[in-house]
Structure 1
Amino acid sequence: MSIKILTDSASDLPLEFFHKQNVTCIPLRVHLNDKEYLDLETIQPKEVYEAIRNGAMPKTSQASPTALYEAFEEVAKSGDSCIYIAFSSELSGTYQTAMLMREDLLAEYPDFQFSIIDTKCASLGQGLVVHYATQLLNKSLSFEDTCQQIKKYASTMQHIFTVDDLDFLAQGGRVSKASAFVGGLLNIKPLLHVEDGKLIPIEKIRGRKKVLKRMLELMEERGSNFKDQTIAISHGDDEETALQLKDMIQEKFGCTSFIINQIGAAVGSHAGPGTIALFFLEDVIA
């Protein structure tokens, strides 16, 4: 019996990661122009960013109960154990729905070893937790110890990111409207982080170059041993800036392991084009 890792599309990992690591990705839903799509399956991030640039306001909804139940049941039938690494419960109802599906499933499969972990993370912060979880599977840990290690990764994951327009997050309820200050005309860029699973604005900085420099300063303040961990950068259709940030991190900290990917359709519907997000652990977990 082995452990099967599942997550959802809010993890923003590259599709090839899921195939290579045998991780099941359950799609969140995107609603655009009166149609419903499945993130990474029937709609791609670039379509969402182009729609936003053309004035559309996509909305999102949690993964469907049916999709969650079917994914969980497939593992139950296989005889394997299951760990579902979920999008922050403060940003989506997916975790709560998954817990309800787990209750239903255990009524039918009472011996099924199954844990759902609320990462309190988003985008590649969640994705990095999944990345480290797959590495744990090679260490012959018990199911309980594997779950505990994954929770440690989630609890020490740092998120530092900037968006071009906080109004996208405010309209989707991801930050309070009071926090959604407007700075576009003055080239003011907000810096945010994640605190207990919630998106919290922390600073306003004038100019993209200064924002990237400040992200590195915060990285140095909040983390350590960067050369011994994987650094993740996700972007809202702005690979050039993501690679620029990677080069700055490489030069300053000597990091060699990176995951860089475009923010998916679900998270991107709220973050908007131009978002740059940086993720790392506070320290390496042995």
Structure 2
Amino acid sequence: MTVKILADSASDLSKVHYSEYDMEMVPLTVHLDEKEYKDGLEIEPVEVYNAMREGKSPKTSQVSPQTFKSIFTSYAENNQALVYFALSSELSGTYQTAKLMEQEVKDEFPEAPIHIVDTKCVSIGYGLVCLHAAKLAKEGASVTEVIEAGTHHAQHMESIFTVDDLEYLYRGGRVSKSQVFFGSLLKIKPILHVDDGKLVPLEKVRGSKRLFSRMLEIMEERGSDLKDQTIGISHGDDLKRAEELAGMIRAKFDVKDIVIEMVGSTVGAHAGPGTIALFFLNDTNQ
């Protein structure tokens, strides 16, 4: 029986991806205007971005324990292998909740082939990890092979972010109010990266024109075999700039495969509209 891959909505994968590779998705929750929405199912990212542009502050919450227990139980009852590649545990409690529910289900079904991997990744970088694992699963790879390959991808995924407005990072506790003020005054654009699952500042760039060039320099410094790997770009409702960055990458590195998706509601609620994120591997040996 084929190994099933489960991802959560923070992977920012499209419905086409889930359908093509027969993956399952579990949604986090978005809270907006005193209502709750299942991310990726009941609310579109653009609705969240428009609300933020109007000054609203959407919130997000992890997947509920009961949702995980229901999914895990269904696979345990059928003795089908399931691998859940989770959003970084440093950014959400979803991984920890999944582990708790895994144990509860295995108390009843000790031999249940359920496995959970903390990717320490986010957005389409996390999505690329899930896609890599799902492709192998579809080709008939074993549980061990899928977990090893997905884990290697996750450990070597580089994630480079920039945001259009520092205010959203301030609301999320990533920068101070003074950094917001002086950053806006001096037209400073931050570059952040994911370090051991945490989104942390990397450096600052003066002016938008220099921003993408510097991101490509970082990509060249850190990347491996860029031409032959799948590059990920996600954007906060700014497809034009995402495609501009993709064009620069193709021209500089002759990359053939680039996946562009919108940053979903879960991550976008904290990063804000205008976010641009770049994902690539620093080791392609598996």
Mean CA deviation greater in 130-139 or 51-60 = 130-139
Are 1:54 and 2:54 counterparts? yes
SS for the counterpart of 1:147 is helix
The 1:170/1:113 distance shift into structure 2, 3 A limit, reads: farther
Q: Is the 8 A contact 1:124 1:233 kept in 2?
A: yes
Partner of 1:265: 265
User: What's the CA shift for 1:149?
Assistant: 1.6
Deviation per CA, 1:197-238: give whole Å up to 9, x if none: 001111111222211110100000001211111000000000
Which residue type is aligned with residue 231 of structure 1? I
Equivalent residue number for residue 35 of structure 1:
35
Contact 1:171 1:177 in 2 (8 A): no
Contact kept, 8 Å, 2:166 with 2:175, in 1: the verdict is no
TM-score with structure 1 length normalisation? 0.95
- What is the Cα deviation at residue 181 of structure 1? 4.2
Contact 1:85 1:117 in 2 (8 A): yes
Matched, 1:44 2:44: yes
Equivalent residue number for residue 144 of structure 2: 144
Q: In 2, are the aligned partners of 1:125 and 1:279 still within 8 Å (CA)?
A: yes
- One-letter code of the match for 1:21? Y
Alignment coverage as a number of residue pairs: 285
> Which segment drifts farther, 162-171 or 8-17?
162-171
Verify: 1:122 aligned to 2:136, yes or no.
no
Q: Tell me how far 1:16 sits from its aligned partner.
A: 1.3
Q: CA deviation at 1:245?
A: 0.4
The corresponding residue for 1:171 is 171
Partner of 1:4: 4
Give me the whole-angstrom Cα distance separating, in 2, the residues matched to 1:179 and 1:126.
32
Q: Could you tell which deviates more after superposition, 213-222 or 176-185?
A: 176-185
Q: What's the offset of the Cα at 1:137?
A: 1.6
SS at the partner of 1:135? helix
SS of equivalent residue, structure 2 residue 70: helix
TM-score normalised to structure 2 length? 0.95
* Distance of aligned partners of 1:177 and 1:75 in 2 relative to their CA distance in 1, 3 Å threshold: farther
> Structure 1: which 5+ residue stretches go unaligned?
none
Q: What residue in structure 2 maps to residue 278 of structure 1?
A: 278
Q: Kindly indicate whether the alpha-carbon contact (under 8 Å) linking 2:188 and 2:204 is maintained by their aligned counterparts in 1.
A: yes
In 2, distance between residues paired with 1:77 and 1:208? Answer: 54
Between the two proteins, what is the percent identity of the paired residues? Answer: 50
Provide the residue aligned with 2:108 in structure 1.
108
Match of 1:207 in 2: 207
User: More deviation in 129-138 or 256-265?
Assistant: 129-138
What does the per-residue CA deviation read over 1:254-280, in whole Å, with 9 as the maximum and x for residues that have no partner? 011111000111110001000000001
CA RMSD after TM alignment:
1.6
Tell me how far 1:179 sits from its aligned partner: 9.6
Task: Tell me: CA distance 1:207–1:37, structure 2 relative to 1, closer, same or farther (3 Å).
Answer: same
Q: Structure 2 regions of 5+ residues with no counterpart? A: none
Cα contact 1:227–1:255 (8 A) shared by 2: yes
Match of 2:238 in 1: 238
Q: Aligned equivalents of 2:178 and 2:136: distance in 1?
A: 38
Q: State the match for 1:160 in structure 2.
A: 160
Q: C-alpha offsets along residues 118-174 of structure 1, whole Å, 9 cap, x if unaligned?
A: 00001011001011111222454432232122111100000011012333234234x
**Counterpart residue number, 2:194:** 194
Q: 1:121 is aligned with what amino acid? A: C
Residue identity matched to 1:243 = E
